[in-house]
Amino acid sequence: MAEIIVVTSGKGGVGKTTTSASLACGLARRGHKVAVIDFDVGLRNLDLIMGCERRVVYDFVNVVNGEANLKQALIKDKRFENLYVLAASQTRDKDALTKEGVQKVLDDMVAEGFDYIVCDSPAGIEKGAYLAMYFADQALVVVNPEVSSVRDSDRILGLLASKTRRAENGERIKEHLLLTRYSPNRVETGEMLSVGDVEEILGLKTIGVIPESPDVLNASNKGEPVILETESNAAQAYDDAVARLLGDTRPMRFITAEKKGFFSKIFGG
């Protein structure tokens, strides 16, 4: 049975698409058959992060409208043969996606034998975000250790617990926090909320902490999900998060500050 995972946050720019791309690659690298869907109608971006922007012929809305079938619209990844991308439509019609339409596409994917379907939610709490989370079994709530992101995440957690199919059936979505852009040094100096602070405020455990890293921008420049930059701390942190999602226990890495030498303390840097 396919597991539907929504990557959501409320706030924009916290790393939903980066996370969706890395999560999808991480699952595919472990041999699972994975589809990753861009729900951000009008602002397609997952294709760029996945590096398949020039191979988009048909999109999500085309499939919903019956202008193409799922097989035609799924873009096969060049790195993993068991990984597929479904691009968002660039239409400005906000009502292009309907609950019935989304359900049909997801049902088709389940019938195609996908193990995991990753839904990359748009920012906000409008229809796109609602549809991205509605059918989910699990939710990855991406949060930056920063006041507006934490507050918006709490809002999203409220919606996950009330406005989803599982909630309507009296079940719960399995929710996970994923902290991104984490700076252990700034946490140490008391300038940034710690993992523990965010967990305490939101009442939820973190499944991963992705350190602030220049590799994320470099990877997106290249169209390579950052999890594939194996030397990078961010990649290793994403891989740990994927492993935990699949049930492994792994210690949290990259959450303590690098020890500064005596001289750098005095002279700065």
Partner 1 sequence: MGLFDFLLAKKQTATIAKDRLRIIVAHERAGRGSNSPDYLPMLQRELLEVIRKYINVDAEAVKVDLIGDGESKVLDISVALPENPAQA
Rounded distance between C-alpha atoms, residue 265 and residue 269, angstroms: 8
- The packing angle between helices 127-134 and 99-111, to 10°, is 30
Residue 160 engages partner 1 in binding (rule: CB under 8 A):
no
Q: How far is the CB of 212 from partner 1 (least distance, A)?
A: 15
4 three-class SS: strand
Q: DSSP 3-state helix, strand, coil percentages of the chain (rounded to 5)?
A: 40, 15, 40
Q: How far is the CB of 121 from partner 1 (least distance, A)?
A: 19
Q: Considering CB under 8 A, how many residues would be counted as binding partner 1? A: 24
Q: How far is the CB of 205 from partner 1 (least distance, A)?
A: 17
Cβ-based nearer residue to partner 1, 247 or 269: 269
Q: CB count, 10 Å around CB of 240?
A: 21
Cβ-based nearer residue to partner 1, 167 or 243: 167
Candidates 28-36, 101-109, 126-134, 194-202: pick the segment binding partner 1 (CB under 8 A).
194-202
Residue 154 engages partner 1 in binding (rule: CB under 8 A):
yes
Interior angle at CA 78, CA 76 and CA 84, nearest 5: 25
Rounded distance between C-alpha atoms, residue 95 and residue 130, angstroms: 12
Candidates 20-28, 43-51, 192-200, 247-255: pick the segment binding partner 1 (CB under 8 A).
192-200
Cα 150 to the chain's mean position, in Å?
16
* Cα–Cα distance list, 247 to 85, 101, 244 (Å): 25, 32, 5
Rounded distance between C-alpha atoms, residue 118 and residue 5, angstroms: 5
Candidates 28-36, 95-103, 114-122, 147-155: pick the segment binding partner 1 (CB under 8 A).
147-155
Exactly one of 189, 205, 218, 256 binds partner 1 (CB under 8 A); that residue is: 189
Residue 172 engages partner 1 in binding (rule: CB under 8 A):
no
Q: How far is the CB of 184 from partner 1 (least distance, A)?
A: 12
Residue 170 engages partner 1 in binding (rule: CB under 8 A):
no
Exactly one of 106, 202, 216, 226 binds partner 1 (CB under 8 A); that residue is: 202
Rounded distance between C-alpha atoms, residue 153 and residue 142, angstroms: 8
- Quick one: which H or E segment has residue 120? strand 116-120
DSSP 10: S
Residue 263 engages partner 1 in binding (rule: CB under 8 A):
no
Residue 158 engages partner 1 in binding (rule: CB under 8 A):
yes
Q: By the criterion CB under 8 A, which residues form the site for partner 1?
A: 146-147, 150-151, 154-155, 158, 162, 187, 189-194, 197, 200-202, 265-269
